[in-house]
Amino acid sequence: MSTFILIHGAWHGAWCWYKLVPRLEKAGHTVIAPDLPAMGRDRTSVKRVSLATWRDHICELLDAASEPVVLVGHSRGGIVISEAAQHRPHRIRTLVYLAAFLPANGESLFDIAGRDTLSLVGPNMMMSDDKTSSVIRAEALREAFYGECSDEDFALARLCVQAEPTVPLATPVQITAERFGTVPRIYVECLRDKAIPLSLQRQMQAATPCQRVAQIDTDHSPFFSRVDELASLLCSL
């Protein structure tokens, strides 16, 4: 059995894993699904959050775990797990990039996203007046993130998505082959993703190859739309 730490993506919180956590636990695994600072139920101000803030939060969880973990990052969570792997490579058994940003050294999320012209996220991202956070236009949420999800799950998401801090998205990731590069990586492609299109997923893999690639034929939110398939895939690790 394994310990999983699940890192949510932008505008989300631990709530997005509500279907996946009990399935993994039923299979005998230990699961930790935190809210990152300023996200979900965490009340930290978005103005106080950096990529290092999120990285250090995850490193504390890694240090407290009883064994090396399977660290799963969805979407924006990919930059966070990459940073954590650089600082705690010995505490991570496997990195899983679930339709996630997979940066090369020195790249920020904005750097990667700026190379893509197909995503529905960029054209529908609205910055706050002071540029410290962003939200997604309400009318674009379903198509961008939840196209194949149930009405009930979309209703939950629509209520729970929130402002995303800007600074972590603009911060270059600092990783090395000697530390980050020693941790096995798995990429899970979402084939009908309109937030991080398949073409961009594969561009990132070409630049930072993974030892294994799996596929789920769904939208950007397989924790809702294909949760049984996702749980089975993670258990197979």
Residues 31/25, Cβ–Cβ less than 8 Å: yes
Q: Average of pLDDT values for 79-97?
A: 98
What pLDDT was estimated at residue 137? 98
Q: Average of pLDDT values for 199-212?
A: 98
Q: Report the run of H or E that residue 63 belongs to, with start and end.
A: helix 51-64
What are residue 197's phi and psi, to 5 degrees? -55, 155
Instruction: Read off the pLDDT of residues 148-171 as tens digits, 9 standing for 90 and up.
Output: 999 999 999 999 999 999 999 999
Is pTM beyond 0.85? Reply is yes
75 is catalytic: yes
What pLDDT was estimated at residue 171? 98
Laid out side by side, the sheet with 125-127 consists of 125-127, 133-136, 164-165
Q: Average pLDDT over the chain, rounded to whole?
A: 98
Instruction: Read off the pLDDT of residues 191-200 as tens digits, 9 standing for 90 and up.
Output: 999 999 999 9
pLDDT at 73 exceeding the cut of 90: yes
What pLDDT was estimated at residue 50? 98
pLDDT at 237 exceeding the cut of 90: no
Q: Report the CATH number that the domain containing residue 155 is assigned in CATH.
A: 3.40.50.1820
42 is catalytic: no
What are residue 51's phi and psi, to 5 degrees? -60, -35
193, 219, 221, 225: which one is catalytic?
193
8, 57, 74, 220: which one is catalytic?
220
How far is C-alpha 203 from the geometric centre of its chain's CA atoms? 17
What pLDDT was estimated at residue 221? 98
What pLDDT was estimated at residue 124? 98
Domain of residue 69, residue span: 3-235
Residue 57 CB contacts under 8 Å (≥ 6 apart), including other chains: 34, 36, 37
Instruction: Read off the pLDDT of residues 3-38 as tens digits, 9 standing for 90 and up.
Output: 999 999 999 999 999 999 999 999 999 999 999 999
Q: Is 175 exposed, middle or buried (0-12, 13-18, 19+ CB in 10 A)?
A: buried
| Number of domains present in the structure of the chain | 1
Instruction: Read off the pLDDT of residues 119-152 as tens digits, 9 standing for 90 and up.
Output: 999 999 999 999 999 999 999 999 999 999 999 9
Instruction: Read off the pLDDT of residues 41-59 as tens digits, 9 standing for 90 and up.
Output: 999 999 999 999 999 999 9
8, 57, 75, 219: which one is catalytic?
75
